[in-house]
Amino acid sequence: MNLKIGVIKGDGIGPEIVTEAMKILDKTADKYGHTIEYTKLLMGGASIDVHGVPLTDETVDAAKSCDAVLMGSIGGDAKTSPWYKLEPSKRPEAGLLKIRKELNLFANLRPAVLYDELRGACPLKEEITEGGFDMMIMRELTGGLYFGERKTVEENGVLTAYDSLTYNENEIRRIAKRGFAIAMKRRKKVTSVDKANVLDSSRLWRKVVEEVAAEYPEVTLEHMLVDNCAMQLVKNPKQFDVILTENMFGDILSDEASMVTGSIGMLASASLNETKFGLYEPSGGSAPDIAGQGIANPIATILSAAMMLRYSFDLDKEAEAVEAAVAKVLADGYRTGDIMSEGKEKVGTVEMGDLIAAYI
- Residues identified as active-site: 146, 195, 227, 251, 255
Considering only CA atoms, which of 273, 231, 278 is closest in space to residue 256?
231
297 in helix, strand or coil?
coil
In order of 141, 180, 299, 313, 326, the CA distances from 251 in angstroms are 9, 20, 20, 26, 26
39 in helix, strand or coil?
strand
- For residues 136 and 241, the answer to whether their CB atoms sit within 8 Å is yes
- For residues 155 and 207, the answer to whether their CB atoms sit within 8 Å is no
Considering only CA atoms, which of 18, 5, 14 is closest in space to residue 304?
18
* C-alpha span between 85 and 93 (Å, rounded): 13
123 in helix, strand or coil?
coil
- For residues 302 and 21, the answer to whether their CB atoms sit within 8 Å is yes
- For residues 138 and 189, the answer to whether their CB atoms sit within 8 Å is no
* C-alpha span between 80 and 67 (Å, rounded): 36
* C-alpha span between 19 and 22 (Å, rounded): 5
As a three-state string, the secondary structure of 134-146 is EEEEEEECCCHHH
Q: Burial, 65: exposed, middle or buried (Cβ in 10 Å; 0-12, 13-18, 19+)? A: exposed
Paired strand residues for 243: 137, 191
DSSP annotation of 58 reads H
